Amino acid sequence: MNNIVAIVGRPNVGKSTFFNRLIQRREAIVDSVSGVTRDRNYGKSEWNGKEFSVIDTGGYIKGSDDIFEGEIRRQVELAIDEADVIVFVVDVEEGITPMDEEVSKLLRKITKPVLLVVNKVDNAMREKDAVEFYNLGLGEYYTIAGMSGSGTGELLDALVELLPEAQAPDPDAEVLPRFAVVGRPNAGKSSFINALIGEDRLVVTDIAGTTRDAIDTTYNRFGFKFNLVDTAGIRRKAKVKEDLEFYSVMRSVRAIEHSDICILVIDATRGFEGQDQSIFWLAEKNRKGVVVLVNKWDLVEKDTMTTRDYERKIREELQPFTDVPILFVSALTKQRLLKALETSVQVFESRRQRIATSKLNELMLPIIENNPPPALKGKYIKIKFCMQLPTPTPQFVFFCNLPQYVKEPYKRYIENKLREHFDFNGVPIDIYFRQK
């Protein structure tokens, strides 16, 4: 089970710098993928063999520096609610501000572990100045310099000690595919799940979720058997504004990380919004299969072009990962719900397919020969051999003489060719070039 660490604090104390330092420890996951700004608020980190997700609450606060305190208070309350460990960042240059006192007041009331981090401590003088932060009543503090990274090692040692131990899976339990139903509030996730489960309650067994906020429901009908992870029926707090982007994303993180396939439900009457995009890229970044369901389609006035136009718009937003199934459904009228399930199962199968090395080479080498990577500085790239790696998600490695010269457009070309010949609809693919 992946743990969540939330970084809280007022604007401009260096939360984002610290966040970037944490997630850069895992270059493989935090690649400079196109559109990395989309997910500047969420990343994965690892220290001493323990992996955890990091959420920078600061990235969600829109507006100027003098942003009203209520917004920050809401962020902190959400972080308290959802995270396993909270890192509270303050700034030694400014000392204790009224807003820091506000945040610490909230944090003193909770039982979850809180690490107080005094940032911008880059000399002995500032080390002395940091002592005043004892007055926040949160006990010991850690001093770091986010820019240079000094002090982060000790802080991370303490942080991973506080993370709950992962529970070992029951070896006798049947391992079923996990389909997470995700999306912004009010998109119709609950209605979708209720329509699937219907009145036929006998086939439903409620297992207490592995995460404390989502419930797994075993679905076993029409020849399908899998666990549905519902992020919709999670307790709602009155103080959480429904439309708060942070809320949806925070809720979705855990569900996505613990799933095989993400069924992203969007509201047809609202269109594919920024928040839907955040959740989509979260699933893609975690290399999960994705199916997009445009719900409430019965409420949209249609002419002959509507479906096609609507789908084209969504695909434009999803670039470059456009090979994703998009279905128009209605949880209310139960329109195309079975098709949605079939598609999700199909994406699950595609995600675990293995392509024989001989078949792969037979197909790809002639394609590469006809259209080799462009020469760079007069040097020609020769690709000799390719294979699928034995990983849980589809990853392919191509062996060549000068891997460093293979650029992004050619990788995309190779990916498109793989998608043309094998069914990877809805499945993110990784392609690597290595020296033989």
> Residue 188, annotated ligand binder?
yes
> Residue 168, annotated ligand binder?
no
> Residue 219, annotated ligand binder?
no
> Residue 241, annotated ligand binder?
no
> Residue 371, annotated ligand binder?
no
> Residue 302, annotated ligand binder?
no
How far is it, in rounded angstroms, from Cα 389 to Cα 395? 6
> Residue 122, annotated ligand binder?
yes
> Residue 121, annotated ligand binder?
yes
> Residue 151, annotated ligand binder?
no
> Residue 227, annotated ligand binder?
no
> Residue 15, annotated ligand binder?
yes
Q: In what order do the strands lie in the sheet with 141-143?
A: 42-47, 50-56, 3-8, 85-91, 114-119, 141-143
41 torsion bin: left (phi>0), alpha (psi -120 to 50), beta (else): alpha
Q: Which residues pair with 263 in a beta bridge?
A: 181, 291
> Residue 59, annotated ligand binder?
yes
Q: Which residues pair with 388 in a beta bridge?
A: 396
> Residue 141, annotated ligand binder?
no
> Residue 6, annotated ligand binder?
no
> Residue 44, annotated ligand binder?
no
> Residue 323, annotated ligand binder?
no
> Residue 9, annotated ligand binder?
yes
> Residue 252, annotated ligand binder?
no
> Residue 313, annotated ligand binder?
no
> Residue 11, annotated ligand binder?
yes
> Residue 183, annotated ligand binder?
yes
> Residue 120, annotated ligand binder?
yes
> Residue 38, annotated ligand binder?
no
> Residue 297, annotated ligand binder?
yes
> Residue 232, annotated ligand binder?
yes
> Residue 41, annotated ligand binder?
no
> Residue 57, annotated ligand binder?
yes
> Residue 200, annotated ligand binder?
no
226 φ/ψ angles, rounded to the nearest 5 degrees? -160, 170
> Residue 198, annotated ligand binder?
no
> Residue 426, annotated ligand binder?
no
> Residue 220, annotated ligand binder?
no
HEC string of the chain equals CCEEEEEECCCCCCHHHHHHHHHHHHCCCCCCCCCHHHHCCEEEEEECCEEEEEEEHHHHCCCCCCCCHHHHHHHHHHHHHHCCEEEEEEECCCCCCHHHHHHHHHHHCCCCCEEEEEECCCCHHHHHHHHHHHHHCCCCEEECECCCCECHHHHHHHHHHHCCCCCCCCCCCCCCCEEEEECCCCCCHHHHHHHHHCCCHHHCEEECCCCCCCEEEEEEECCEEEEEEECCCCCCCCCCCCCCHHHHHHHHHHHHHCCCEEEEEEECCCCCCHHHHHHHHHHHHCCCEEEEEEECHHHCCCCCCHHHHHHHHHHHHHCCCCCCCEEECECCCCECHHHHHHHHHHHHHHHCCCCCHHHHHHHHHHHHHHCCCCCECCECCCEEEEEECCCCCCEEEEEECCHHHCCHHHHHHHHHHHHHHCCCCCCCCEEEEEEC
> Residue 234, annotated ligand binder?
yes
- Annotation: binding site for GTP: 9-16, 56-60, 119-122, 183-190, 230-234, 295-298
- Annotation: binding site: 9-16, 56-60, 119-122, 183-190, 230-234, 295-298
